[in-house]
Amino acid sequence: MDSSSSQPNTSRNATSVCCKFSVVLPGKVFLPGSSEYDSSVGSYFFRTARQTPACILEPNSAEDIEAIVNVLASDTGVKFAIRSGGHTPNPHQSNVDDGITIDLRGLNKIERVEGHSNILAVGTGAKWGDVYDYLEKTGRAAVGSRESSVGVGGFITGGGLSFFAPELGFASENVVNMEIVTPRGILCANANENADLFRAVRGGQGNFGIVTRFDIKTHERSTYWGGGILYPESSEDAQLQAWSDLKNGKYDPHAAIVQSYLFFGAQKSFMISNNMVYLQEAEHPVGLAGFENIQPQVEGTNTMRLDTTKNFALELQGWQPLDQYAVYVTTTIKFSPSVGKKINSIWREATLLISDSPNVTSVLTYQQFPPQSKDNPNGMGLQVDDELHKDHLIVIISIYWHETNDSERITNVAKDTMDRMEAAAAGENALHTFKYINYAAYWQQPARSYGEAANEAARGVSAKYDPQGVFRKQAVGFKFQ
Ligand SMILES: Cc1cc2nc3c(=O)[nH]c(=O)nc-3n(C[C@H](O)[C@H](O)[C@H](O)COP(=O)(O)OP(=O)(O)OC[C@H]3O[C@@H](n4cnc5c(N)ncnc54)[C@H](O)[C@@H]3O)c2cc1C
């Protein structure tokens, strides 16, 4: 839906709550028809997320958000959405029709924490590119998104897979403290204070409150080896063998690979890409040789070099199709070349079904599962002893298209394709139940995939910090059981 042409269909309830906000937050409430409203709706990365709420709130402090939560708690009927960078492709997750959207982009301050040279305080509304800009000259790196435009808030509360994942785990494990607004007020959450909340939010997105600031560790790392290479699809067997060799060898925490099988509708061509880094200042490291040496490569596409996080993230950003409809859907598998081969052929068959959609891009991506932290566990129900990082991969199908009329058909193909992939993986005893929330489709219930113990803990945290269930019942997005 285009923001400029849309007029929301809004109930009286949502409209009257917007009126209350006009009193509580003067100058920060935007109604349909205003340029601020259109600009906020139009700024969602994907068209699939451009819903039209009754009003958009643009707070710029934790106190503003506390006032918002108090109003929401007094009107139990109204739905609301929490938005940081606006990168989810899912409709009604960080935006909502007939409800209130809280646009957090104004909370985007980045500053060093006094007395702690390795900790950076980052507002939820900042983009990872802003963080990398800030750190560029310091020789330090943050564990953030591999693409610069992604928002800090959704990325971290969903876990966060970065260039550093094989070494440092999810981005959320590199957070040492958060400021979060719950119905119990503005709280700090860290390993010592509100530790149950601190754990649950990391993987729990907006189920418990609104995080306003993350204090994240930075790591000494200026330049390291990385970049991308495109190969023809005939290299498939060599690509799968490279994964197999990586997984069967000694675990290398410095080698991070994102492998994508790509279909570009404009050229009607299939290709394979590896975007990779080796987290050392060493050229052509042995740890990536299995992928880097695959031949043939598409001429002129090899960008492997020594560079900074900022530049690697800008390079990947350049690959992203812009202003499109999109669907992401994910699963987790225990990798073997035979299961990879089956999944690839299911994706190829499905891609041919939608290849007539003008300029469609269809992508199947494999990424390493990160190791889990014993000292700073998240809320995703993952156990250190499972050691999924040794032999599991996260699988994502992402499809991008232009035509509104193709939305239902392509979404159904994505759903059916993932069902078939999961059946194929299950047939080889290679299917894991975990679904990574930042890549999950709206029908997938990723929070439930964390297992009963994590769901029980989440229910306890919700009852303690949000007894009335404001976030549980009124916030849109993925829910625990
Ligand atoms: C171009 C692109 C590149 C990507 N690259 C990566 C990658 O390298 N690694 C990776 O792991 N993922 C990646 N993703 C997926 C990305 O992590 C998710 O889409 C994530 O939700 C984006 O964060 P955001 O703040 O932009 O999202 P938003 O759409 O603003 O938020 C998503 C959800 O997060 C929750 N949320 C947001 N802010 C807060 C808050 N302050 N408090 C509580 N809950 C909050 C809400 O439930 C919200 O609905 C990428 C996505 C895109 C489109």
We report the CATH number of the domain holding residue 414 as: 3.40.462.20
349 and 434 fall within a common domain: yes
Residue identifier of the C-alpha nearest atom 13 of ligand 1 = 145
Does residue 283 sit in the same domain as residue 408?
Answer: yes
Q: Which atom of ligand 1 is nearest to the CA of 87?
A: 26
48 lines ligand 1 (CB under 6 A): no
How sure is the predictor about 242, in pLDDT bands with cuts at 50, 70 and 90? very high
Q: Domain for residue 173, yes or no?
A: yes
Instruction: With a cut of 80, say whether residue 356 has pLDDT above it.
Output: yes
396 and 377 in one domain?
A: yes
| pLDDT per residue as tens digits for the range 337-349 | 999 999 999 999 9
C-beta of 316 in contact with ligand 1 (< 6 A): no
**Ligand 1: does its nearest atom lie under 6 Å from the Cβ of 145?**
yes
Q: Does residue 94 register a pLDDT over 50?
A: yes
pLDDT for residue 1 is more than 50:
no
Determine, yes or no, domain membership for 343.
yes
| Whole-number pLDDT of residue 9 | 67
Query: Tens digits of per-residue pLDDT, 310-328?
Result: 999 999 999 888 899 999 9
> What pLDDT, on the 0 to 100 scale, is given for residue 5?
41
What is the average per-residue pLDDT within 100-122? 96
Counting residues of the chain whose pLDDT is more than 90, the rounded percentage is 93
User: Measured in whole angstroms, how far is the alpha carbon of residue 269 from the centre of its chain?
Assistant: 27
157 in Cβ contact with 205 (< 8 Å):
yes
Same-domain pairing of 205 and 256: no
Same domain? For 251 and 356 the reply is yes
Q: Which helix (H) or strand (E) holds 115?
A: none
Residue 430: domain span: 223-439
Q: Find residue 271's DSSP bridge partners.
A: 232, 262
Q: Do both 294 and 348 map to the same domain?
A: yes
Whether 474 maps to a domain, the answer reads no
Question: Which protein residue's CA is at the shortest distance from atom 34 of ligand 1?
Answer: 154
Contact (Cβ atoms closer than 8 angstroms) between residue 434 and residue 450: yes
Q: Domain with 95 in it: what CATH number? A: 3.30.465.10
Cβ neighbours of residue 304 under 8 Å, at least 6 residues apart? 225, 226, 227, 228, 229, 276, 284, 292
Residue 222 CA, ligand 1 centroid: distance in Å: 25
* Residues 313, 239 share a domain: yes
Inside any domain, residue 317: yes
- Whether residues 256 and 404 share a domain: the answer is yes
The radius of gyration of the chain from alpha carbons, rounded to an integer in Å, stands at 22
- Residues 302, 427: one domain? yes
What's residue 66's pLDDT?
98
Q: Which of 60, 64, 65, 88 to mutate to test the pocket of ligand 1 (most atoms within 8 A of CB)?
A: 88
Q: What is the pLDDT of residue 12?
A: 72
What mean pLDDT is predicted for residues 360-366? Answer: 98
Residue 172 sits in the same domain as residue 57 = no
